[in-house]
Structure 1
């Protein structure tokens, strides 16, 4: 298939509830495509239709019937629908979170046996046809699995699901075959554009799900290179130079962050899918990983290593990130209060994660303003992107100022969440949704205000860096 839509090459993280400091289930991902490809953030209200509904893709000829009832959900669609919707991530009214997709690569052996479907479901449609129609993470895996098996897929991808009890990682390995694994409650996973799931235990349906015909498919086409077991990564995935330089280093760095005592080679093909972190993890740890660029190593693009090392590996956070999200499901009874959609517009390393409660009724106008690909001053995406562009030009001079602002906003956002949680526990229904909308909007507006002020200050200071300058010798 000729690819006309923006190519996505993301990085993901999933954390089980017993691996976090507060019992949250956390999933997150950097949506990476192009250096300038704006995103919006919206809330779709719940809808009940009187007539049968059909989804029709604007990217290919994929179509499928939809249920009459669609739940409310948040989403981050693109500035244009020309290439499809690409809603990418969100939390629905039942407290289910979904992020789609982590682009992966299948090997030619399996694609010869089960090619990708030109008009199958793709990344652009997955959120739209799945998230409004599920009431648990497990139900999300089953629904998407049925869709992939029935209609096929035009890409190989990884998809993240979560509710306040479970996190699941779902992978498509060819045109129709897929597997999914529940992240153990005490574990985490970091994934970077590579088939990640390893051994499948077909005797454990509580923790694994799969296409019902996948074992027969692999056996019939003699695809398993292992002497025993069923290692999905080795059967369906790749092991090549792109993995060595583009994918594996990001997984290595994430595991280095959370298990610093474990010695691993940066290019090892044996990096495990799952690990138990040395310490309990938090949203801040997820933010740190998704914002990372090999800090503390010779591979940091803005560090002190030699030029070759600084350009050797693809970092987690980079200029092509459109938005970065962390979907947090806390142990609250009300799904409106339990879920927080942390959203950083633009490059995660240069942006800030704004907390939007799952119960919000709307998003600020600035988060819905992008309707062209070029710069728009009123767009939230461009507010954060513009600040990053200014810092890029003079990172050593401006980087500290950006970091100080990020720390200040992170603290303020954290305080706002603590206060909102305390108030929200005493509210319900429309009153709770209205309150959470007010609080989330206030945090979003604070972030925009502070980043606009930062940009104005950096532009003023940057005037001193013009090459068209001259210092007169007073002795002349």
Structure 2
């Protein structure tokens, strides 16, 4: 899927948490409802079968419980998106990334081929549909997640290029698939943040570390041999650092309107002085993969960045100057399904360290709320499976608000902003209160406490979101083209 990801190391975040966030954006013209769910270990399948690739995988015994964000309509697969398991380990799935013909010729993608013309069916590899379900319940750390998924890729391959984040309290690892079976992974520096806009992003790789201590780099065991055999290394001087982006990535004209401008917008926000000094362009091919931010990064700033539509620039689709609007693909796009953010906090009890934040539908017009993950059930407003538009669903209410507000952006923006501020303020207040109260909760009541806390957050959010819908509907109704100033009153 066309997505945008940001990773924040623990020393770059405002409170020492690791933060991983991703917009899951569907393909053009598609809108996929997501719901907040939790998988009981007894309900985890033993034999997993992919809808897209038809591959069948026997899963290990003793899975952990985990939260995830599946599709409401499971006919196309689970698409777990992101979540947290019992050990407070999180993963995303996936940032669809790009590659080039040299890589895909050397290690072709493992694509499904149906039986036809007398030929037998050929099952494909694994992909975004599958990764959370077959990985998250079985890993005990971010590092272990990389190794575990690496073995799956070695055995089954993948039919697409993927970028996947693994996160625990101390570390974040970013894995990128290279062709059908190979992969690289790099630990996110603790003092830095990473931006990923649908491109292969890692711009430095240390093969020596990856093939020895694996302190900050890991890769598939045959990757170095593949690089040499198929002439993937483009360095003029072998003594220079190896750049995976040059060897494995793409450099297409489409990158300059679809991918790099998003990286530019995020990096420019967190490092404005650097970007002013270096005069970096939205179409630069060598934008930074990681940077130390100029100040520590907050949750609300991550939400703002993942809602960005090039505000205060000529590229803003809502600008009244039409010369350059819609030139670049915005981060905050109409077809976002969910903004999923996981914050793993080192300063609270183990049972409530992980907060799973979510914002549904187009981020320009929504607000992001947190939920505890130490639970057995989710609120109906967040977790119900509604296949048709309804105001009983957080996703659908936000989708309706966005569609109504978008053509009346300037008239509704003040109401949207008031709603976002009110929700931001209140949910942070509520989490602080619940964290304090949790200190006195007995062990056997902890899950029940977290579920009640999530329900309170959901109820508040539902009330505020309905109020916003009422206001936006009123404004949009007054702006209808068949309006007429005279009435019978």
TM-score scaled to structure 1, two decimals? 0.94
Equivalent residue for 1:216, pick from 216, 222, 225: 225
What is the match of residue 119 of structure 2? none
Cα-to-partner distance string for 1:231-270 (whole Å, 9 max, x where unaligned): 2111111011111110000001101000001131111111
Please tell me whether residue 255 in structure 1 is matched to residue 248 in structure 2: no
What is the match of residue 371 of structure 2? 356
What is the match of residue 117 of structure 2? none
Task: Pick closer, same or farther for the CA change 1:73–1:335 going to 2, 3 Å.
Answer: farther
Please tell me whether residue 389 in structure 1 is matched to residue 384 in structure 2: no
Unaligned runs of 5+ in 2: 112-123
What is the match of residue 418 of structure 1? 432
Equivalent residue for 2:245, pick from 220, 224, 233: 233
What is the match of residue 15 of structure 1? 8
Equivalent residue for 1:446, pick from 448, 460, 482: 460
Structure 2: distance between partners of 1:389 and 1:446: 23
What is the match of residue 203 of structure 2? 198
Structure 1: distance between partners of 2:105 and 2:463: 53
Please tell me whether residue 405 in structure 1 is matched to residue 419 in structure 2: yes
8 Å contact 2:386–2:393 — kept in the other structure?
no
Structure 2: distance between partners of 1:277 and 1:113: 37
SS where residue 310 of structure 1 aligns?
A: coil
The CA deviation at 1:345 is 1.1
The CA deviation at 1:468 is 2.4
Structure 1: distance between partners of 2:462 and 2:43: 35
Structure 1: distance between partners of 2:54 and 2:40: 26
Structure 2: distance between partners of 1:26 and 1:404: 26
CA-based RMSD: 1.8
Cα-to-partner distance string for 1:375-418 (whole Å, 9 max, x where unaligned): 23322210111111221131111111011011011000010111
Task: Pick closer, same or farther for the CA change 1:265–1:362 going to 2, 3 Å.
Answer: same
Structure 2: distance between partners of 1:217 and 1:462: 57
8 Å contact 1:361–1:433 — kept in the other structure?
yes
Structure 2: distance between partners of 1:61 and 1:466: 48
Equivalent residue for 2:180, pick from 170, 175, 178: 175
Deviates more, 1:252-261 or 1:324-333: 324-333
TM-score scaled to structure 2, two decimals? 0.91
What is the match of residue 281 of structure 1? 297
What is the match of residue 37 of structure 1? 32
Structural mapping, 1:424-463, within 5 Å: 424-427=438-441, 429-463=443-477
Please tell me whether residue 116 in structure 1 is matched to residue 128 in structure 2: no
Structure 1: distance between partners of 2:149 and 2:454: 30
Please tell me whether residue 246 in structure 1 is matched to residue 255 in structure 2: no
8 Å contact 1:48–1:70 — kept in the other structure?
no
Structure 2: distance between partners of 1:423 and 1:160: 32
What is the match of residue 156 of structure 2? 151
SS where residue 308 of structure 2 aligns?
A: coil
Please tell me whether residue 294 in structure 1 is matched to residue 313 in structure 2: no
Structure 1: distance between partners of 2:356 and 2:199: 25
Please tell me whether residue 57 in structure 1 is matched to residue 42 in structure 2: no
What is the match of residue 41 of structure 2? 46
8 Å contact 1:45–1:72 — kept in the other structure?
yes
Structure 1: distance between partners of 2:147 and 2:440: 35
SS where residue 144 of structure 2 aligns?
A: helix
SS where residue 161 of structure 1 aligns?
A: strand
SS where residue 18 of structure 1 aligns?
A: coil
SS where residue 64 of structure 1 aligns?
A: strand
Deviates more, 1:8-17 or 1:455-464: 455-464
8 Å contact 1:27–1:328 — kept in the other structure?
yes
The CA deviation at 1:472 is 5.4
